[in-house]
Amino acid sequence: MTEIHFGTDGWRGRIAEDYTFDSVRRCAQGFANYLLAHGQQGCDVVVGYDKRFAAEHFAAATAEVMAGNGFHVWLTDTATPTPVISYSIVERRAEAGINITASHNPPWDCGFKVRDKHGAAIAPDGLREIELLIPALDEVNRVALAEAQEAGRITVWDPAPPYLAHIAKLVEIEPLREAGLNILVEPMWGNGSGWFPRILGGGETQVTEVHNQRHPLFPEMARPEPIPPNVNVALQRTVELGADVCLIMDGDADRMGIGDEHGGFVNQLQVYALLAYYLLEVRGERGPIVKTLSTTSMLEKLGQMYGVPVYQTGVGFKYVGPKVLETDAIVGGEESGGYAFRGSVPERDGILGNLYFLDLMVRTGKTPSQLLAQLYEKLGATYYYDRVDTRFPPERRPETKARLDAARPERLAGMKVTAVVTMDGYKYVFENGGWLLIRFSGTEPIIRVYCETTNEEKVQPLLDAGLELAGLK
């Protein structure tokens, strides 16, 4: 019997190896048991899915189990962006949601994400409880899809219209539609395909998509993660088309990325700082900012400038979402390109994030590269960032953790360490505000080393120092 463990954002596994129909049904029963244990008998549950191999069939199997446990299921009628699924939980007044997606993982993976009544990631203690309630296969209750539909226990519906009406209240669409921009959209063969032509079509703005068909192998990229080298083809097309900007979404469209007018990649930390600047300066909003410890210290600088608090959490929206709700933050985000915004659900939204970035361009009349230059001028410094991911056998984790626990570096790459934060991994903070982070991925057998500094020459030495600390160099 497959062991199912919930990581940073639900359960993910290799299709046909551990991610099978039987495992998915057991996982769905575990979530049903969790809801029943919390008094949610007969409530509504939203179920959606992405464009990975057989995802719609895994979603149907999930819906059958939830219906078999007495819940009413709203099953999306097609592959649907994660933020649309999350919003639908609130819009349908459902108590929970399940999303069959592996987000940015390699093509051989699929996943099972769970959401609460706010459309947010469930907190770590809740995930542990669900895990403990996953039963053996012979304890799974299910009812056939056709039978459940006929009985009104599963409703197949289109969640797009309510979501489109929702985002139109958060950002003015017409000025973007008539701005005359030339936009390239990279949905990475995933759920974001077709949304920007639908939202922005019919005006002076031109929208061209690449990689906009369903292709579970994600050709021309290693995985649908919105970072180089996966976005290199789109960045090249940006230059060829003379586009003003490249809007990027990952496979399930909850994360975003930006390519500038020169085909350069605007990294996720820069994008987060620009979005925070947009909300604070251009829109004049005020309120807390929530960030994972793996993202930019530019946010603390902006927080000081605009008099708003900045809260730091562990990595993953299972930490960010609850903190956004608790503090009524104007934005919450992470290093991987996922950002949530006040007025919407406390969940990453690559569609809304990209629309906000377009609005920033239109309101200021500036290109992405000009906006970045303006941000650095405001901050009084230029920030540099990079990350190294290394495949890492799980059996080596205890040894490496012990090594990092024992390490007490006073300097790294010649920079004085002023603090060590062990909230999630090992974050070494330097006297100039830069940082180095070493942490184990919560979703893959990978160890990550990240750094940010205002000294470009220190980026590679810092990454090397991090790899050496972890015993990887």
User: Same domain, yes or no, for 185 and 94?
Assistant: no
CA dihedral (294, 296, 300, 302) in degrees, to 10, reads: -150
Instruction: Tell me, yes or no, whether 371 and 407 share the same domain.
Output: no
- 244 and 309 co-located in one domain: yes
Mean pLDDT taken over the chain? 96
Looking at residue 301, its pLDDT comes to: 96
| Confidence label for 134 from pLDDT (cuts 50, 70 and 90) | very high
What does DSSP assign to residue 279? Answer: I
Is residue 245 situated within a structural domain? Answer: yes
Same-domain status, 228 and 257? yes
Q: Which of 379, 411, 444 is the last residue of a domain?
A: 379
Query: Judging by DSSP bridges, how do beta strands 289-292 and 331-333 pair with one another?
Result: parallel
pLDDT in tens, 359-408: 999 999 999 999 999 999 999 999 999 999 999 888 899 999 999 999 99
- As a whole number of angstroms, the distance between CA 272 and CA 254 comes to 14
In a domain, 240, yes or no: yes
Are residues 22 and 115 located together in one domain of the fold? yes
Residue-wise pLDDT for 44-100, tens only, equals 999 999 999 999 999 999 999 999 999 999 999 999 999 999 999 999 999 999 999
Q: 204 and 126, same structural domain?
A: no
CATH number at residue 128: 3.40.120.10
Domain that holds residue 423: 384-469
The pTM score is 0.95
Secondary structure (DSSP) of 161-186: HHHHHHHHHHS-HHHHHTS--EEEEE
Give the span between the Cα atoms of 373 and 382, in whole angstroms. 9
Query: Token pair for residue 246?
Result: 């490249």
Give domain status of residue 3, yes or no: no
Supply angle C-alpha 286, 166, 98, rounded to 5: 100
User: Is 69 within a domain?
Assistant: yes
Query: Does residue 6 sit within a domain?
Result: no
Least confident window among 3-12, 68-77, 248-257, 320-329: 3-12
409 and 345 part of one domain: no
Q: Are residues 63 and 156 in the same domain?
A: yes
CA distance 427 to 409: 12
CA distance linking residue 192 with residue 206, whole number of Å? 17
Total count of domains within the chain? 3
pLDDT at 185 over 80: yes
Task: Sort 274 into a burial class: Cβ within 10 Å, 0-12 / 13-18 / 19+.
Answer: buried
Q: Which of 379, 411, 446 is the last residue of a domain?
A: 379
The alpha carbon of residue 45 and the mean position of all alpha carbons in its chain are separated, in whole angstroms, by 21
Distant-in-sequence, close-in-space partners of 26: CB < 8 Å, separation ≥ 6: 2, 4, 134, 135, 136, 137, 140
Q: 433 — phi, psi (to 5°)?
A: 95, -10
Whether residue 103 is contained in a domain is answered as yes
Same domain? 320 vs 393: no
Number of helical (H) and strand (E) elements in the chain, helices listed first: 16, 21
Are 297 and 361 found together in one domain?
yes
Is residue 5 assigned to a domain? no
* 136 within a domain of the structure (yes/no): yes
pLDDT at 10: 86
pLDDT tens-digit map of 9-25: 789 999 999 999 999 99
* 88 and 188 co-located in one domain: no
Looking up residue 388, the CATH number of its domain turns out to be 3.30.310.50
72 and 90: one domain? yes
Give residue 124's pLDDT band: very low, low, confident or very high (50, 70, 90). Answer: confident
Residue bearing tokens 């605007």: 266
Of the three residues 338, 356, 379, the one that is the final residue of a domain is: 379
Would you say 458 and 428 are in contact if contact means Cβ atoms under 8 Å apart? no
On the 0-12 / 13-18 / 19+ scale of CB atoms within 10 A, 445 is middle
